[in-house]
Each structure stands twice: as structure tokens, then as C-alpha cells.
């Protein structure tokens, strides 16, 4: 696994250089931006694991940057640490309200900043794991509902066969023909159900296959519709 990529948005060249040197020595891959506008562009292109941003900057300040990131569905989960020379509680509150995960006052201790960055990245990893577990639980729930739907449609396919078999008279050609028709129709429905189930199982094995059913994106109503369309064939 490669180095963790972080973005530092800082308009002061000396401060930016010091931060880049420090975090590079800590094993991070660091990219710089001079203001929020450039930072947003860079973040959109390369999706860094974390952002350290100054507040007071030209074009787009740190508050506006936070706000824009949190409104972007693809970027909104990115951890952001704001740093500023303004030691006002109101500014800290604004920063947190705009979406910052942490807020440091200049001059700050680099070791403290390093610990805060590591904590943010750890929380990001835990959040990602939790999201993945939630997705897996949703897959299990959908599979359970799918099995219920399959059972329902197979029962619907076999019920006419069972009924015809119970009233069929071997000496009555019409009765026998109706049983045969019920068997043929029921087998067709069951075959269609099995084919759909096969696609669902393949989807679980290969979630990158765009032609397969993705359990995470398929509701139980969608599945039932698929089964019902099979029955009408």
C-alpha cells in the first residue's frame, strides 16, 4: 500500500514549505495549493485522504473551502483540519459549522498537528470500515428478501401442478392434457426463477460486472418485478 496523500492549502510559501517537509519526513505524500480555489480543484482531481487548510487566503478562504467540500457528494467525507492566526472562539465555531473536523490556532506545535492528522486519518479508516459493514448487512438483508421472493414464486409455479395432479383422471385425456400443460408452464416459470437467481449469485461474486444485478442497488420490489416478468414469459 502506498503513502497516504494529504493536501496542504497555504498561501504563505515558508509555512507551506515547512509543512510539506515535515509531513514528507513522516511518510506522507504531500501536495500544495495556494488558496481554496486551487485546493478545491486539486482535491477534486486526486481525492486526497486529508486536507490541512489555512483560513485567511485570497480568492477562496478556508471557511468557503470547507463549505464547498461538504456540499460535494464525492468529496464531503474528506477530513479537513483548519489552521488560523485568529484566536477568536467565534472563528473556531464558524470553522466547525462550515464542516472542519479540527481547528488549530497559529502558532501551533508540529507534533500536535501530526497527532491530530493521524487521529483524523484513523477516524476516516474506521468510518470507511463501518460503511463497508453497513453495505454488507444490506446485502444480507436483500439476499434474505430475495430468498423469500424466490420461495414465493416457486410455490406459485408448483401449486397448479399439485392441484392438477390431485384431480387428474388417467382415463380422461383432457384432464391429462391440463396436467401436462400445468407441468410445462410451471417448469418454465421455475427455470426463469433459477436463471435470475444465478444472475444474483454472480452479482455477489463480481460487483464490478455492470451487466449483473447489484444487490446493493436492487430493491426487493425490483426483484419481485423481475420474477413476475419471468412468470409472464
Provide the strand spans (E) within the chain: 5-9, 29-33, 50-54, 80-84, 102-105
- Dump the DSSP string for 20-86: HHHHHHTT-EEEEESSHHHHHHHHHHH--SEEEEESS-SSS-HHHHHHHHHH-TTTTT--EEEEES-
pLDDT of the residue at 205: 62
Higher pLDDT, 173 or 134: 173
Tell me the pTM.
0.58
Give 67's pLDDT tier (boundaries 50, 70, 90). Answer: very high
Residues 225 and 172 in one domain: yes
C-alpha Rg value of the chain to the nearest Å: 30
Domain count for the chain = 2
Same domain, 146 and 97: no
Domain endpoint, select from 43, 75, 108: 108
Burial of residue 139 (CB within 10 Å: 0-12, 13-18, 19+) is: middle
Overall average pLDDT of the 27-53 stretch: 93
**Mean pLDDT calculated for residue range 8-30:** 94
Residues 102 and 166 in one domain: no
Tally the residues of the chain.
233
Domain contains 115: no
Within-domain flag for 127: no
In a domain, residue 117? The reply is no
Q: Point out the domain boundary residue: 66, 93, 108.
A: 108
pLDDT of 209 > 70? The answer is no
> Do 9 and 83 belong together in one domain?
yes
Same domain, 192 and 145: yes
Range 178-184 average pLDDT:
87
Residues 137 and 95 in one domain: no
Most confident of 30-44, 78-92, 132-146, 215-229: 30-44
Is the pLDDT assigned to residue 210 strictly greater than 50? no
- Helix axis angle for 62-71 and 89-98, nearest 10°, is 20
Task: Look up residue 31 and give its three cell numbers.
Answer: 501536495
Q: Are 140 and 83 in a shared domain?
A: no
Based on the fold, state whether residues 10 and 99 are members of the same structural domain: yes
Query: Are both 101 and 9 inside the same structural domain?
Result: yes
Which of these three, 108, 142, 177, is where a domain ends? 108
The reply to whether 124 falls in a domain is no
- Among the ranges given (52-61, 85-94, 168-177), the one the predictor scored with the smallest mean pLDDT: 85-94
pLDDT class of 194 with cuts at 50, 70, 90: confident
Residues 27 and 100 in one domain: yes
**166 within domain boundaries:** yes
pLDDT value, residue 233: 46
Structural domain including 55 reads 5-108
Do 137 and 211 belong to one domain?
yes
- CATH of residue 16's domain is 3.40.50.2300
Residues 10 and 76 in one domain: yes
Amino acid at each position: 500500500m502506498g503513502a497516504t496523500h494529504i493536501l496542504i492549502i497555504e498561501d504563505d510559501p515558508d509555512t507551506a514549505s515547512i509543512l510539506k517537509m515535515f509531513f514528507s519526513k513522516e511518510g506522507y505524500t504531500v501536495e500544495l495549493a495556494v488558496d481554496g480555489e486551487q485546493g478545491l480543484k486539486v482535491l477534486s482531481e486526486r481525492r486526497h485522504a486529508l486536507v490541512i487548510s489555512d483560513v485567511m487566503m485570497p480568492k477562496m478562504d478556508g471557511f468557503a473551502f470547507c463549505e464547498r467540500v461538504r456540499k460535494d457528494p464525492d468529496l464531503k467525507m474528506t477530513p479537513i483540519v483548519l489552521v488560523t492566526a485568529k484566536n477568536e472562539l467565534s472563528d473556531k465555531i464558524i470553522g466547525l459549522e462550515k464542516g472542519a473536523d479540527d481547528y488549530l490556532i497559529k502558532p501551533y506545535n508540529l507534533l500536535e498537528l501530526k497527532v491530530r492528522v493521524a487521529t483524523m486519518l484513523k477516524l476516516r479508516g474506521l468510518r470507511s470500515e463501518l460503511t463497508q459493514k453497513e453495505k454488507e448487512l444490506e446485502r444480507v438483508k436483500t439476499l434474505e428478501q430475495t430468498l423469500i421472493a424466490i420461495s414465493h414464486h416457486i410455490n406459485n409455479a408448483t401449486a397448479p401442478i399439485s392441484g392438477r395432479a390431485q384431480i387428474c383422471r388417467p382415463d380422461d385425456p383432457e384432464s391429462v392434457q391440463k396436467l401436462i400443460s400445468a407441468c410445462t408452464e410451471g417448469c418454465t416459470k421455475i427455470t426463469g426463477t433459477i436463471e435470475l437467481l444465478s444472475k444474483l449469485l454472480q452479482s455477489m461474486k463480481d460487483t464490478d460486472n455492470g451487466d449483473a444485478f447489484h444487490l446493493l442497488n436492487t430493491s426487493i420490489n425490483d426483484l419481485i418485478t423481475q420474477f413476475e416478468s419471468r412468470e409472464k414469459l
